Amino acid sequence: MNPALLGLLTIVIGVGGCVGYFYFSNVFLDKVLFPASGPNASRNINRANKIRPWLFLAPALLALGLYLAYPVFETLRLSFLERLPGGRTQFVGFDNYTRMFAEPKFMEALRNNMLWLIVVPAGSTAFGLLAAQLTDRISWGSVAKSLIFMPMAISFVGAAVIFKLVYETRPEDAQQIGVLNALWLRFDGGIGSFIFLKIVPAILLLGFAAALAWIVWVTIRKIREPRLASGLKIVFALLALLMAYIAVSSVLNAGSVLTAELDYGTPMTWLTIPFWNNFFLMIVLVWIQTGFAMVILSAALRGIPEETIEAAIIDGANPFQIFFSIKVPQIMSTIVVVWTTITIATLKVFDIVFAMTNGQWETQVLANYMYDKLFRANDWGVGSASAMIIMLLVTPILVWNVYNARKEMR
Amino acid sequence: MDNIAGTKSTLTWAVHISVLALVLLWLFPTMGLFVSSFRTGDQITQSGWWKAMFPAELTEQFRAADPDENRIETEAGVFVVEGDFRQEGLGGEISTWGTSSRDLAAYAPGDTADLGEGETFTVNADGTYVWQGNADQIEGRGQRVFITALEPPEFTLANYDQVLLDPRNSEGMAKAFFNTLTVVIPATIIPILVAAFAAYALAWMDFPGRALLIAAVVGLLVVPLQLALIPLLKLHNEIGIGKGYLGVWLAHTGFGMPLAIYLLRNYMVGLPRDIIENAKVDGATDFQIFTKIILPLSFPALASFAIFQFLWTWNDLLVALVFLIDSSGETTVMTKQIVELLGTRGGDWEILATSAFVSIAVPLVVFFAMQRFLVRGLLAGSVK
């Protein structure tokens, strides 16, 4: 049958089936099982009302349970099994995990994913905050916002094609059609190149390190507060350590940026430069997620009470002080929500890597590694084990979200 | 804020300029794809798309007319072929020309090239040419000429014609477009219906375990769908669905369910309690309250989830790869087709750009048309 017709039929059957289920199950409950008449009318009404919620919930619970909850446990089980010829399986304990951790490609994926987890949420939130703050102050801000927000609607695959064109490389004597190479070839090693390719990046890196150092300092101050639970203290201390490490390494990197020998005049194949190519892939996700961060942060910025800002202005605060000392602390909880949401999206990143490099040239990430193992190597054990690693990384955020949701309901 | 004392006008200018720079930076990559999809393959490879608005130097290869049919003996032993390259598609002003691919800029218009042993070739500024030599030289195939001309900007719809309307469908995009639609429409409508009932139960019905269920939905919101691939593929194979539309519809329904329930419940909880209680007093059943009161009032939330689900299913690659596309490739979707083209036609930017633009055009239209609902949904889902 024609798939379009099949689709139409499914809509009719699916929608009709759903409506029919809800309608007839209610009728059945009220008229046949516990009729609201006769000697037991009031008891029957109560009984029916006890059952009705579950009638409403049943299809959704089935979908949730079968398509999300059950797979978590099944994947956990599969990660301890090895498939034997003939469809049998054998329990192998942590064998899949040890095999996986011994594989250099997995360690590469893990390292890259960590890099993604730092750069993409930080980059998107920072750009989003910047865009939100700037666009809120001008008349054509809503137009600007909707244009920055637009990549949200573009698929990862579409974005991959878009950025492949940006990164395209042509031989040295031909015209460059990729924007990045065309720009790159304008630099010839003169004073302009020195400013734009060495001084500016070095300043940016140092600024990033300074921002991190400030956050570390704030975190340490928070840890020393006696009211804080000791569990949270440990988490904060670990985070502070991690950020301190990143800050130190970015200071060191700033030094190496200044002294690096750049290959002026030669077109670069950007996606094949090990380590740095990861950043060229991350730019794609930052480009997509910035709009999301901007929309949410801009709503949060508008929710800040005017009086606090007016009071700061009267006290003589300059715009930067207003932004960093008055506004940012007030929207901190929203920043955390945005950050974690983007973190989850980053953890699952698959399409971009799959379409642009497929994990070659040391750009592997966990989700693509898993896909490789599952469907190319057909190794379900290691594939499931790597899926469990992704789950493990998501779990802290899951617990945090559930904790917040419960707190809110009380 | 702007009228508050203390805001400086120079700063306002800086804000305008930085926003403009940011917007341009964000638009630039997409513009590249858009402009490239209206250029021919030759144009794309010969100049960057940002130069497309200006005349460009373009080198093209031409061949003189077939000597065996067109040559004229002007005097004894001297044969001449004359013609006009303009009629063969040469446009613009000729800047240089050459007869060898190694030296494209050997001659200026009007020059006469000496091809050895008395054979000559002349290309004039107006595109006409004269090829002269003896009987042995003026025969076989026409002389090759490389002409570099300043071509005026030119855009074409030929790429779209080839990608979408080509009857042989060599790029497979037309079919993939309909396959994507077939996946998307049921995968958007069915979860809404199922989730709306559940959201109503979680928002307005009292039963033991409700708080626990809501917490579970919040938890499932972040479970990576990667975990579901193998168990569900196994399940689908065991119950006989295998790979196909039914499987992908079910999968999208399941994966979209937590967000749907979460968004709709958050919205429904905020509806005024009085309306619902009045209806109950008047003897309405829960089913009636839901269909007659809750559903119409929840339209904004339904719309915002519908957009989410639409964008997500339209743009999805992984779920389609795992649950839909079998070895026959008959059910391929656009995202998969584009990845395929990236592999097989990596250098043919006119095809790649057009295909990619076809696939992102529909979500972009939906995005700009329904942005209001999308933003509202995002805010409901994230800001608490």
Read off the tokens for A165. Answer: 């064109």
> B83 pairs with which residues across the strands?
B129
Question: Closest Cα partner for A310 from B15, B9, B1?
Answer: B1
A311 vs B: CB within 8 A: no
Statement: B162-382 belongs to CATH 1.10.10.10: no
Q: Are residues A326 and A350 in the same domain?
A: yes
Q: Nearest by CB to B222, from A154, A351, A394: name it.
A: A394
Say which amino acid occupies B212: L
Q: Which residues contact A27 (CB under 8 A, 6 or more apart)?
A: none
Question: Closest Cα partner for A206 from A240, A254, A257?
Answer: A254
Collapse the DSSP code of A277 into the 3-class scheme (helix H, G, I; strand E, B; otherwise coil) and give the result: helix
> B98 pairs with which residues across the strands?
B146
Q: What is the CB-side half-sphere exposure of residue B56 using CA atoms within 13 A?
A: 21
Interface test with A, best of B197, B289, B372 (most A CBs within 10 A): B197
Distances (CA, A) of B198 to A60, A64, A289: 6, 11, 30
Q: Are residues A395 and A287 in the same domain?
A: yes
Collapse the DSSP code of B114 into the 3-class scheme (helix H, G, I; strand E, B; otherwise coil) and give the result: strand
A22 vs B: CB within 8 A: yes
Q: Are residues A207 and A231 in the same domain?
A: yes
Q: Are residues A136 and A197 in the same domain?
A: no
Read off the tokens for A172. Answer: 């040295």
CB A271 within 8 A of CB A167: yes
Residue A83 lies in a domain: no
Q: What CATH number is given to the structural domain containing A381?
A: 1.10.3720.10
The reply to whether residue B23 touches residue A148, judged by beta carbons under 8 angstroms, is: yes
Q: In this model, does residue A175 exceed pLDDT 70?
A: yes
Chain A residue nearest residue B6, CA to CA: A313
Residue A3 lies in a domain: no
Instruction: Give the length of chain B.
Output: 384
Dihedral of CA atoms A39, A41, A44, A50 in degrees, nearest 10, equals -160
Read off the tokens for B201. Answer: 């139960």
What's the number of domains chain A is made of? 3
A162 vs B: CB within 8 A: yes
Q: Are residues A243 and A302 in the same domain?
A: no
The reply to whether residue B49 touches residue A168, judged by beta carbons under 8 angstroms, is: no
Residue A215 lies in a domain: yes
Burial (CB count within 10 angstroms: exposed 0-12, middle 13-18, buried 19+), residue A345 = middle
Residue A249 lies in a domain: yes
The reply to whether residue A155 touches residue B315, judged by beta carbons under 8 angstroms, is: yes
Domain encompassing residue A44: 17-61
Residues B59, B151: Cα–Cα separation, whole Å: 9
A169 vs B: CB within 8 A: no
Chain B CB contacts of A383 below 8 Å? 230
Min Cα separation B248/chain A (Å): 12
Q: Are residues A232 and A350 in the same domain?
A: no
A186-229 residue pLDDT tens: 777 677 777 777 788 888 888 888 888 888 888 888 777 777 77
Q: What pLDDT, on a 0 to 100 scale, did the predictor assign at position B381?
A: 64
Residues A397, A196: Cα–Cα separation, whole Å: 39
Q: Are residues A331 and A229 in the same domain?
A: no
User: Domain ranges in chain B?
Assistant: 9-52, 56-151, 162-382
Distances (CA, A) of A330 to A124, A305, A323, B2: 19, 9, 10, 20
Q: Are residues A236 and A372 in the same domain?
A: no
Residues A211, A12: Cα–Cα separation, whole Å: 56
Q: Are residues A277 and A331 in the same domain?
A: yes
Q: What pLDDT, on a 0 to 100 scale, did the predictor assign at position B5?
A: 46
The reply to whether residue A52 touches residue B286, judged by beta carbons under 8 angstroms, is: yes
Interface test with B, best of A161, A366, A392, A402 (most B CBs within 10 A): A161
Residue A256 lies in a domain: yes
Chain A residue nearest residue B343, CA to CA: A355
Collapse the DSSP code of B148 into the 3-class scheme (helix H, G, I; strand E, B; otherwise coil) and give the result: strand
Q: What pLDDT, on a 0 to 100 scale, did the predictor assign at position B1?
A: 47
Residues A67, B250: Cα–Cα separation, whole Å: 9
DSSP state at residue B327? T
A325 vs B: CB within 8 A: no
Interface test with B, best of A154, A284, A337, A390 (most B CBs within 10 A): A154
Q: What pLDDT, on a 0 to 100 scale, did the predictor assign at position A124?
A: 92
Q: In this model, does residue A322 exceed pLDDT 60?
A: yes
Q: Nearest by CB to B227, from A19, A71, A313: name it.
A: A71
Q: What is the mean pLDDT of each run of 10 residues along chain B (384 residues)?
A: 53 85 89 84 76 74 79 79 78 78 78 80 82 79 80 77 71 79 86 89 84 86 85 85 83 89 86 85 83 86 88 89 80 84 78 86 88 81 51
Percent of chain A with pLDDT over 90: 3
Chain B CB contacts of A158 below 8 Å? 33, 315, 335, 338, 356, 359-360
Chain A residue nearest residue B322, CA to CA: A375
Min Cα separation A218/chain B (Å): 24
> B107 pairs with which residues across the strands?
B97
Mean pLDDT value of segment A43-67: 83
The reply to whether residue A71 touches residue B231, judged by beta carbons under 8 angstroms, is: yes
Q: Which residues contact A116 (CB under 8 A, 6 or more apart)?
A: A278, A282, A285, A346, A349, A365
Chain B CB contacts of A163 below 8 Å? 29
Burial (CB count within 10 angstroms: exposed 0-12, middle 13-18, buried 19+), residue A316 = exposed
Burial (CB count within 10 angstroms: exposed 0-12, middle 13-18, buried 19+), residue A371 = buried
A18 vs B: CB within 8 A: yes
CB A148 within 8 A of CB A287: no
Residues A350, A174: Cα–Cα separation, whole Å: 33
Q: Which residues contact A318 (CB under 8 A, 6 or more apart)?
A: none
Q: What pLDDT, on a 0 to 100 scale, did the predictor assign at position B2?
A: 46
Residues B352, B184: Cα–Cα separation, whole Å: 23
What stretch of H or E contains B253? helix B245-269
Enter the ipTM: 0.82
Chain A CB contacts of B6 below 8 Å? 313
Q: Which residues contact B196 (CB under 8 A, 6 or more apart)?
A: B260, B264, B290, B294, B295, B298, B302
Q: What pLDDT, on a 0 to 100 scale, did the predictor assign at position A286?
A: 92
b/e for A36-69, b at 16 or more Cβ within 10 A?
Answer: eeeeeeeebeeebbeebbebbbbbbbebbebbbb
Residues B182, B205: Cα–Cα separation, whole Å: 35
Q: Are residues A332 and A404 in the same domain?
A: yes
Q: Are residues A308 and A379 in the same domain?
A: yes
Q: In this model, does residue A1 exceed pLDDT 70?
A: no
Residue A6 lies in a domain: no
Min Cα separation A46/chain B (Å): 12
Chain B CB contacts of A396 below 8 Å? none
Alpha helices in A188-275 (DSSP H): 191-194, 200-223, 230-259
DSSP calls for A307-364: HHHHHHHHTT--HHHIIIIIIHHHTHHHHHHHHHHHHHHHHT--HHHHHHTTTTTTT-
Q: Nearest by CB to B227, from A178, A295, A387: name it.
A: A387
Chain A CB contacts of B200 below 8 Å? 56
Phi, psi of B59 (to 5 degrees): -100, 125
The reply to whether residue A155 touches residue B359, judged by beta carbons under 8 angstroms, is: yes
Residue A121 lies in a domain: yes
Chain B CB contacts of A74 below 8 Å? 230-231, 234
> B61 pairs with which residues across the strands?
B146
- How many beta-carbon pairs below 8 A join chains A and B? 348
Q: Nearest by CB to B232, from A67, A162, A176: name it.
A: A67
A218-274 residue pLDDT tens: 888 877 777 777 777 787 888 888 888 888 888 887 777 777 777 777 777 888 888
Say which amino acid occupies B218: V
CB A339 within 8 A of CB B326: no
Q: Nearest by CB to A147, from B7, B26, B210: name it.
A: B26
Rounded to the nearest 5 percent, the helix, strand and coil shares of chain A are 75, 0, 20
Q: What pLDDT, on a 0 to 100 scale, did the predictor assign at position B273?
A: 86
The reply to whether residue B50 touches residue A179, judged by beta carbons under 8 angstroms, is: yes
Instruction: Give the length of chain A.
Output: 410
b/e for B339-349, b at 16 or more Cβ within 10 A?
Answer: bbbbeeeeebb
Collapse the DSSP code of B4 into the 3-class scheme (helix H, G, I; strand E, B; otherwise coil) and give the result: coil
| Long-range contacts, stretch A336-339, CB < 8 angstroms, 24+ apart | A337/A296, A337/B382, A337/B383, A337/B384, A338/A124, A338/A125, A338/A128, A338/A292, A338/A293, A338/A296, A338/A297, A338/B382, A339/A121, A339/A125
A103-146 residue pLDDT tens: 888 888 888 888 888 889 988 998 998 888 888 878 888 888 88
Residues B133, B274: Cα–Cα separation, whole Å: 100
Residue A353 lies in a domain: yes
Chain B residue nearest residue A315, CA to CA: B6
CB A295 within 8 A of CB A288: no
Angle between helices B349-369 and B9-36 (to 10 degrees): 130
CB A285 within 8 A of CB A251: no
Q: What pLDDT, on a 0 to 100 scale, did the predictor assign at position B383?
A: 44
A387 vs B: CB within 8 A: yes
Q: Which residues contact B282 (CB under 8 A, 6 or more apart)?
A: none
Q: Sign of dihedral through CA atoms B228, B229, B231, B233?
A: positive
Of the residues A223, A238, A264, the one at which a domain ends: A264
Read off the tokens for A21. Answer: 């289920």
